[in-house]
Amino acid sequence: MESTDTVVLRWGQAAKSVPLARRELCRALERWDLGALQDAASLVLSELLTNAVRHGRVPGREIETHFARLPGGALRIEVHDASERRPLMSLPEGDGADGGWGLPLVDTLAAKWGVGDRPGPGKLVWAELPVDGEPW
Find the mean pLDDT for residues 28-44: 95
pLDDT band at residue 1 using 50, 70 and 90 as cut-offs: very low
Write down the domain spans for the chain. Answer: 6-110
The count of other CB atoms within 10 Å of the CB of residue 51 is 18
Record the pTM: 0.87
Q: Using alpha carbons only, what angle is made at residue 125 by residues 123 and 128, rounded to the nearest 5 degrees?
A: 150
Tell me what pLDDT residue 2 has: 46
3-state helix, strand, coil in the chain (%, to 5): 35, 25, 40
pLDDT at position 64, please? 96
Cα first-last separation, the chain: 29
Please state which of the ranges 23-32, 41-50, 83-92 shows the lowest mean pLDDT.
Answer: 83-92
pLDDT in tens, 53-112: 988 878 889 999 999 999 887 999 999 999 998 887 766 665 555 566 788 899 999 999
Give dist(CA 112, CA 1) in Å, integer: 25
How high is the pLDDT of residue 56?
A: 81
CATH number of 6-110: 3.30.565.10
The DSSP bridge partners found for residue 6 are 68
Among 108, 119, 107, 28, CA closest to 66: 28
pLDDT at 76: 97
